[in-house]
């Protein structure tokens, strides 16, 4: 059956047989083209029993097969349907001599079917009849080409052979044909003597042979070429390589297509240096809105235009709102002007006097913000310290830690509880600071220990999980812990005075209590009015009414 040789689409490479090409190779394919039988692959259907018709090798509308690959291009063949309808240039028309063998059975046979006992193949004549025959000789379209005997290799007569009257058996008819593609290297195992066009992919060893333009109408047509290469056609354009409109493919010069290049910014919007006369994009400066006053606090060195931005005066000061020296009007921060107060941990002892002796201590201090009720947090102080040690790898002792409220506890509910005379004070959860301090021997040791704890990078989520693992549910972590090394002066504390000998309660300072019951009935004592507690403190007896 006649075929067309061409590069295969990327999605069809290697898809031999029926189907697979669809509209990629055949954009005008009919509906259900993959099911449309257009020919036979050399089978004589008249010799196949009716029950074995499935054994016939049908060629479908979109059948294809791969020939080979050369220069990363896969070449394949598809099958010609009907007669060629496109005009061929006289310079590429070759001829073949067809030996007619009579007509094919159009009821059972198709184009490409073996016919007359294998003597030929069915083909479509110029009269659109299905005839049987084979080529006995062929002549290439190249100048001076001699006829080549093709009887040894049976080939179907060209489609459109002018056999209009059913040609008697044995009649020889000369027919024009399309060029035959094949390997033209005589030394190659796949050499095709009848080939007019060399296709490297069809050689056993793909090798080029006389590449050039094979189209007679092209400006670079090469009559001696045998392998298809790039063809160029008459193209009008600017042939001045120094001009803006230069067309390297132009073959006819058109001065009107040449333009002088004027470099400049061609962006009318978004550029600060738009040039309406420029026709070559070059050197655009984008519009960047910002303060362009170099003396302003918010001067932007990248700004090219000031449209929406407002320049702020330079006011140097502390911009940290937590600092004691916070300056609301400052626009330039100077951290050296920020001064901070340090809350003292709760202590029953009064502040040391200014004239008391002091000592230098080196401290590692870790602190973290928590949310909770004071009593509950103080009750969970020990497991909270252990949870921090779990996360930070520190070794704080519970005695190193304090919990202090750092914000207002919220509203107080003074509503009397039912059936009680005493009022209950209920506090909402508030912000607290958990502070852990450890005194070490030197400033270097304090800095090293602080760096080690900070390196643990304890996060809010990590500390919260550690608290949960230690069974602490009273605290919500508000911030990541911070640790610092501090050197400060502290007053040297004197040992507490020894309690005086004698006195109520004895020298061990244990409290004495006396409870007076004012009524008794049936052996049951009932407190009717009040109770008194007498405490002994530093040799003095005090009487205080606790409740009434």
The mean pLDDT value for 400-404 works out to 90
**Residue 154, in any domain of the structure:** yes
**Residue 186, in any domain of the structure:** yes
pLDDT of amino acid 509: 43
pLDDT of amino acid 547: 36
pLDDT of amino acid 48: 66
**Residue 336, in any domain of the structure:** no
Residue 370 sits in a domain whose CATH number is 3.30.70
Better-predicted residue by pLDDT, 491 or 519: 491
pLDDT of amino acid 548: 33
pLDDT of amino acid 506: 45
In which domain, by residue range, is 450 found? 359-409+425-491
Q: Does 504 share its domain with 528?
A: yes
pLDDT of amino acid 70: 82
Q: Does 380 share its domain with 511?
A: no
pLDDT of amino acid 322: 87
Final residue belonging to a domain, choices 174, 202, 230: 202
Q: Is the pLDDT of residue 344 over 90?
A: no
Q: Does 465 share its domain with 485?
A: yes
The mean pLDDT value for 428-456 works out to 88
The mean pLDDT value for 198-223 works out to 91
Indicate the pLDDT class of residue 364, thresholds 50, 70 and 90: very high
Indicate the pLDDT class of residue 537, thresholds 50, 70 and 90: very low
Q: Is the pLDDT of residue 482 over 60?
A: yes
**Residue 300, in any domain of the structure:** no
- In the chain, the largest separation of any two C-alpha atoms, in whole Å, equals 155
**Residue 444, in any domain of the structure:** yes
Sign of CA pseudo-dihedral 203, 207, 208, 209: negative
Q: Is the pLDDT of residue 207 over 70?
A: yes
Q: Does 480 share its domain with 524?
A: no
**Residue 447, in any domain of the structure:** yes
Q: Is the pLDDT of residue 297 over 50?
A: yes
> Which of the residue ranges 164-168, 316-320, 348-352 would you say has the lowest mean pLDDT?
348-352
Distance of alpha carbon 444 from alpha carbon 454, whole angstroms: 15
Q: Which SS3 state, helix, strand or coil, does residue 446 take? A: helix
Better-predicted residue by pLDDT, 432 or 11: 432
pLDDT of amino acid 541: 37
Q: Given the DSSP bridges, would you call strands 532-537 and 540-545 parallel, antiparallel or unpaired?
A: antiparallel
> Which of the residue ranges 379-393, 424-438, 455-469 would you say has the lowest mean pLDDT?
424-438
Q: Does 540 share its domain with 451?
A: no
Q: Which of 88-92, 461-465, 486-490 has the highest mean pLDDT?
A: 461-465
pLDDT of amino acid 543: 36
Percent of the residues in the chain that have a pLDDT greater than 70, as a whole number: 69
Q: Is the pLDDT of residue 498 over 70?
A: no
Indicate the pLDDT class of residue 186, thresholds 50, 70 and 90: very high
Q: Is the pLDDT of residue 236 over 90?
A: yes
Distance of alpha carbon 425 from alpha carbon 416, whole angstroms: 9
Q: Does 523 share its domain with 375?
A: no
pLDDT of amino acid 418: 43
Q: Does 383 share its domain with 506?
A: no
pLDDT of amino acid 152: 78
Q: Does 399 share its domain with 531?
A: no
Better-predicted residue by pLDDT, 124 or 539: 124
pLDDT of amino acid 75: 78
**Residue 233, in any domain of the structure:** no
Q: Is the pLDDT of residue 465 over 90?
A: yes
Angle, helices 381-392 vs 460-469, to 10°: value is 130
Final residue belonging to a domain, choices 202, 232, 254: 202
Are 177 and 162 in contact, with CB atoms under 8 Å apart?
A: no
Q: Which SS3 state, helix, strand or coil, does residue 75 take? A: strand
**Residue 34, in any domain of the structure:** yes
Q: Does 519 share its domain with 388?
A: no
Distance of alpha carbon 403 from alpha carbon 474, whole angstroms: 13
Final residue belonging to a domain, choices 144, 178, 202: 202
Are 533 and 546 in contact, with CB atoms under 8 Å apart?
A: yes
Q: Is the pLDDT of residue 74 over 90?
A: no
- Strand order of the β-sheet with 181-182 is 181-182, 197-198, 227-228, 211-212
How many domains does the structure of the chain reveal? Answer: 3
Q: Does 532 share its domain with 433?
A: no
Q: Does 453 share its domain with 542?
A: no
pLDDT of amino acid 43: 72
Q: Does 458 share its domain with 507?
A: no
The mean pLDDT value for 44-67 works out to 65
């Amino acid at each position: 059956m006649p075929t067309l040789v061409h590069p295969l689409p990327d999605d069809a490479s290697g898809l031999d047989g029926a189907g697979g090409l669809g509209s990629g190779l055949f954009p005008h394919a009919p509906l259900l083209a993959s099911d449309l039988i257009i020919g036979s692959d050399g089978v004589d259907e008249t010799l196949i029993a009716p029950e074995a018709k499935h054994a016939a090798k049908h060629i479908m509308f979109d059948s294809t097969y791969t020939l080979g690959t050369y220069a990363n291009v896969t070449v394949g063949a598809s099958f010609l349907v009907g007669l060629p309808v496109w005009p061929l240039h006289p310079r590429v028309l070759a001829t073949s001599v067809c030996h007619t063998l009579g007509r094919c059975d159009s009821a059972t046979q198709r184009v490409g079917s073996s016919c007359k006992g294998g003597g030929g193949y069915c083909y479509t004549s110029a009269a659109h009849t299905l005839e049987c025959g084979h080529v006995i000789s062929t002549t290439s379209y190249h100048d001076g080409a001699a006829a080549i005997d093709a009887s040894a290799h049976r080939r179907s007569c060209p489609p459109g052979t002018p056999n209009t009257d059913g040609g008697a058996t044995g009649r020889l008819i000369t027919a024009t044909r399309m060029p035959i593609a094949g390997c033209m290297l005589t030394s190659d195992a796949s050499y095709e003597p009848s080939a007019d066009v060399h296709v490297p992919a069809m050689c056993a060893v793909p090798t080029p042979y006389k590449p050039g333009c094979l189209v007679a109408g092209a400006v670079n047509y090469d009559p001696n070429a045998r392998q298809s290469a790039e063809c160029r056609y008459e193209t009008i354009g600017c042939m001045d390589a120094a001009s803006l409109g230069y067309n390297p493919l132009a073959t006819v010069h058109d001065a009107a297509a040449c333009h002088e290049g004027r470099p400049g910014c061609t962006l009318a919007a978004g550029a600060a240096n738009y040039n309406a006369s420029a026709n070559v994009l070059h050197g655009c400066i984008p519009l960047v809105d910002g303060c362009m006053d170099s003396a302003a606090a918010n001067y932007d060195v990248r700004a090219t235009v000031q449209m929406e931005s407002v320049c702020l005066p330079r006011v140097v000061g502390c911009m940290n709102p937590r600092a004691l020296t916070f300056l609301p009007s400052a626009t330039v921060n100077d951290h050296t002007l920020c001064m901070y107060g340090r809350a003292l941990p709760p202590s029953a002892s009064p502040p040391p006097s200014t004239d008391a002796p002091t000592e230098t201590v080196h401290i590692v201090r870790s602190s973290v913000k928590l949310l909770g009720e004071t009593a509950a947090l103080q009750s969970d102080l020990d497991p909270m310290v252990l949870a921090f040690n779990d996360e930070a790898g520190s070794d704080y002792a519970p005695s190193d830690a304090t919990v202090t409220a750092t914000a207002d506890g919220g509203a107080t509910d003074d509503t009397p509880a039912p059936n009680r005379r005493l009022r209950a004070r209920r506090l909402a959860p508030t912000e607290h600071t958990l502070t852990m301090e450890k005194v070490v021997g030197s400033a270097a040791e304090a800095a090293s220990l602080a760096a080690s704890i900070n390196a643990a990078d304890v996060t809010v989520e990590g500390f919260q999980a550690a608290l949960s693992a230690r069974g602490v549910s009273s605290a919500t972590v508000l911030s990541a812990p911070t640790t610092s090394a501090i050197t400060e002066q502290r007053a040297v504390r004197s040992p507490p005075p020894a309690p005086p000998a004698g006195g109520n309660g004895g020298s061990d300072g244990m409290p004495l209590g006396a409870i007076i019951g004012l009524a008794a009935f049936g052996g049951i004592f009932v407190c009717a009015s009040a109770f008194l507690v007498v405490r002994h403190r530093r040799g003095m007896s005090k009487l205080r009414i606790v409740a009434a």
